[in-house]
Structure 1
Amino acid sequence: MLLIQNGRVLDPYTGTDAPGDVLIGEDGVIEALAPRLAAPAGCAVYDAAGLTVSPGFVDGHVHFRDPGQTAKEDVLTGAAAAAAGGYATVICMANTLPTCDTPEIIRYVADKAKDCPVQVLQAGAVTRGLKGQELTDFGALLDAGAPCLTDDGINLTSAGLCRAAMERAAALGALLSFHEEEPSLVPSPGVNFGSAAAEKFGVPGARACAESAMIARDIALALDTGARVLFQHVSSAQSVALIRAGKALGAQIYAEVTPHHLALTEEDVLDHGTLARMNPPLRQETDRQALIAGLCDGTIDMIVTDHAPHTAEEKAREFAKAPSGITGLETAFSVCCTYLVQTGRMTPMQLIEKMSMNPAKVYGLTGRAVRAGNYARLVLLDWTANKVYQSYRSKSSNTPFTGAALTGAPRAIVTGCRVTEA
């Protein structure tokens, strides 16, 4: 048994924001929740004084590079990074090597993660080999445990194929998760088109309309088919406006945003170079403010990390040849607390909603409230800690947030009776 004492329960599912002890039984299920509980004989006790106790974070968009690129990350190191960041559940994208377009790879990831403190789910691909030509067997992938279907990183450029995918997903009740970029509008990835950083590094960059043009198309297709569609890592003000309009029209659409797009702009690429090269790129301050506004008003449903580890050697290449993406699991809460809560744009409860409750609901993950009868998947958070990240549990450290002065930090996650310190 485990008793979490002296904490403050902060739970958007129940609206609870009050001091409370949480007693967890031997089976990992929450037995009791009360302002004060005595520890039963032989029960382990965790002193959560100064911390909040909340539903563990859910990250709907990570890359663990397993199988195929485990020099960058693997399921075990990725899960360790997730635990350090306060995550109870993560969803790995399908661009593994080989592509996760068969049930065998989904089962491989599940088996490798079975003893991890973090629940690791593996998404299935929409098209075979991520080639955008032939749909995978959606039913087989879903039956194997895929929480969604995605060709993440690659846009479905064929409208006909995209509509066919939506029809099949709608018939199965499946969620489609789309990376939205029209390739012909991306002269080069990783940096905003026409920015000072693009000029400095000698590349054209990626136009914001590459994203919004595909979002507009797929809102129309979602309305036509009734499919549930998630727009990944939204980056532009125009995209936010289109998603807001699409929801008003009745489309079953959702959107995610990353901490780095909420905190940084194209100007930061000048300072951080390839450590701030990402796809979609950091855009202008007006875009950043629109993303925050969209998150606050519910247009954007959730915060995800798009955790994308790369080796130091890869990121040391010249800008045009370096891979896009940054690591994000370990820094996410601190960045969001600093740029959203400390600035007064969101309350702590609202941030927990965006990092935990909303993604869980979109992915159909149930039993996540801090409530008797639910299996414990909790995060313990310090909202006022001064935090500077210098080292990581991940195999990779490609992030512009190393050395930054941040506020707020995860202290531990609780999975059943198991406490994993951050």
Structure 2
Amino acid sequence: MQLIKNAKILWNNQLVLRDILIDQGIIQKISNHLESKAATVFDAKGAFLSTGLVDVHVHFREPGFEYKETINSGSKAAARGGFTTVIAMPNLNPVPDNEEKITNQIARNKQNGVIHIEQYGAISNNLTSTQVTNIKGMSAAGAKAFTNDGKGVQTANTMLQAMVAAASVNKPLAAHLEDDTLVHDGVMNEGKASTKLELPGITGLAESSQLARDLVLAKAAGVHYHVAHISTKESVELVRIAKHEGVHVTAEVSPHHLLLSEEDINSDNAMFKMNPPLRTQRDREAVIAGLLDGTIDMVATDHAPHGKEEKQKSFREAPFGITGIETSFQLLYTYLVKNGVMTLETLLERMVTAPVSAFHLQAPTSIEEGARADLALFDLDNNYEIDTESFESMGKNSPFIGWKVYGKTLATWVDGEIVYKDNVK
């Protein structure tokens, strides 16, 4: 039994001070000045207590790429970021593209993770072929959704078959949008920075043209179609129109596309190399507007750790991707909420309620009696500097190193048990 005392929680859109009593992983009572001789007491000292954050897009790299990240290190990083439920991507080795591999991966996630880890299954065999996987079988084995993240599905017929299969089992199909014929070996957005640095660019059309195709297919298939890491103004407009037309589409945006643009890339620094790439300021403003008006449903980190030596290479040679799960809430609270762009309530809706609802996750969306005690405690009053020394992730590849932020995670609970506690008070 645990008693969290002196925690600020959101109650009817107001921050109020409350005590929370937890027993057997469930919130038993919320009130002022609770006492229990049987409980272990945790004094929140007025910090902000939220339901645990939810991320539908993470890369934990195991099996196959453990030198980048492991399930254990990735889940500890998630806990340090305040996340208690995530969905892990299938670009692993072996790829979870059949029932046996999905079953094994789910067991591995449960054994090695310190938070709740759901699992994506692959859309096509080994993420590369045109042969659609046994989506029905993988769904029965526990796959939460399906994607070929890291690779765009190049063939319309493959995508349509996968959509029909996903619709038949009522599971989301998430798309990494990238038409290979429009990439031209690009390594960053085709624009000012690529011209200045004389590096090959990737047109935004590689994303938006495939999205237009998929939205038409999704309407025909009746599937829940989810847009991963949306990044262009045109893509936001396409999703807005599709929603108006009744297509069952949801979309996510990553913190780096909300806070950075190609104008932040001043040198050949692969810490700024991600896929999709950082776009124009116009695109950045469009994804912020889309997140505010609900066209973009949720925030997802696309946490993508890499080995240190890999990201020390040039843009031409380094892999795409940055870490993000330990800095996501903190960056967005600091630069969107504290700056008055959005409210704390809206940020939490985009980081908890929306992903839980869209992906039918068994995760709490509010602090209330009877709810599962998946919780995160944040210090909203004091700032600190992002540094890699404190990362739980094996990946140190972040463009946000040195940024000052508020919202440090002080503690995280999963099923009522502390899985992360900040060592600096």
Displacement of 1:408 after TM fit? Answer: 2.2
Matching residue within 230, 248, 273 for 2:269: 273
Q: Give the equivalent residue in structure 2 for 1:421.
A: 421
Is the Cα–Cα contact under 8 Å of residues 166 and 176 in structure 1 kept in the other structure?
Answer: yes
Moved more, 404-413 or 169-178: 404-413
- In the TM superposition, residue 331 of structure 1 has moved relative to its aligned partner by 0.9
Letter in 1 for 2:410: R
Q: CA deviation at 1:114?
A: 2.8
Q: Which moved more, 1:157-166 or 1:227-236?
A: 157-166
What residue number does 2:324 align with? 328
Structure 2 residue corresponding to 1:170, chosen from 164, 167, 172: 167
Question: Is the aligned partner of 1:53 residue 2:49?
Answer: yes
Decide which moves more: 256-265 or 373-382: 373-382
In the alignment, which residue of structure 1 is the partner of 2:249?
253
Picking from 229, 238, 253, the partner of 1:242 is 238
Q: Is the 8 A contact 2:379 2:407 kept in 1?
A: yes
CA-CA distance at 1:42 after TM superposition: 2.3
Instruction: Look up the SS of the partner of 2:398 in the other structure.
Output: coil
Give the Cα–Cα distance (whole angstroms) in 2 for the partners of residues 281 and 250 of structure 1: 29
Task: Please tell me whether residue 181 in structure 1 is matched to residue 169 in structure 2.
Answer: no
CA RMSD of aligned residues (A): 1.6
Cα distance 1:168–1:16, how it changes in 2: closer, same or farther (>3 A)? Answer: farther
Partner AA of 1:407 in structure 2: Y
Aligned counterparts of 1:371 and 1:117: Cα–Cα separation in 2: 23
Query: How far apart are 1:200 and its partner, in Å?
Result: 4.3
1:110-155 CA-partner distances (Å, limit 9, x unpaired): 3333353311112100000111411111122112221100000111
Q: Distance in 2 between matches of 1:200 and 1:255?
A: 32
Query: Match of 2:9?
Result: 9
Aligned runs of 1:277-296 on 2, under 5 Å?
277-296=273-292
Secondary structure in 2 aligned to 1:123? strand
Q: Deviations over 1:174-197 (max 9, x none)?
A: 11000011111112343111322x
Aligned residues of 2:96 and 2:105 also touching (Cα < 8 A): no
Deviation at 1:17, TM superposition (A): 4.2
- Seq. identity, %: 39
Return closer, same or farther for 1:358/1:182 CA change in 2, 3 Å cut-off: same
- Aligned-pair distance for 1:106? 2.9
Which 10-residue stretch deviates more, 362-371 or 289-298? 362-371
Distance 1:247 1:129 in 2: 31
Structure 1 partner of 2:217: 221
Q: Which moved more, 1:216-225 or 1:58-67?
A: 216-225
| Alignment gaps of 5+ in structure 2 | none
- Which residue in the other structure is 2:399 paired with? 400
Under a length normalisation based on structure 2, what TM-score does the superposition of the two structures give? 0.94
5 Å-filtered alignment, 1:181-200, equals: 181-196=178-193, 198-200=194-196
3-state DSSP of counterpart to 2:218: helix
Partner-residue secondary structure (3-state), 1:337 = helix
1:331-387 Cα offsets, whole Å, 9 max, x none, are 111111122112111111111111111111111013503122222111111223212
Whole-Å Cα distance in 2 between the matches of residues 327 and 272 of structure 1? 18
Question: SS at 1:4's partner residue?
Answer: strand
Unaligned runs of 5+ in 1: none
- Judge conservation of contact 1:312–1:398 (CA < 8 Å) in 2: yes
CA offsets 1:56-85 (integer angstroms, 9 cap, x no match): 111100111110000000100001100000
One-letter amino acid matched to 2:18: G
TM-score, length of structure 1 as denominator length: 0.95
Q: Which of 368, 372, 395 is matched with 1:371 structurally?
A: 368
How many residues align? The count is: 417
Cα distance in 2, alignment partners of residues 50 and 321 from structure 1: 47
TM-aligned CA deviation for residue 235 of structure 1: 0.5
Shift of the 366–260 alpha-carbon distance from structure 1 to 2, 3 Å rule, reads same
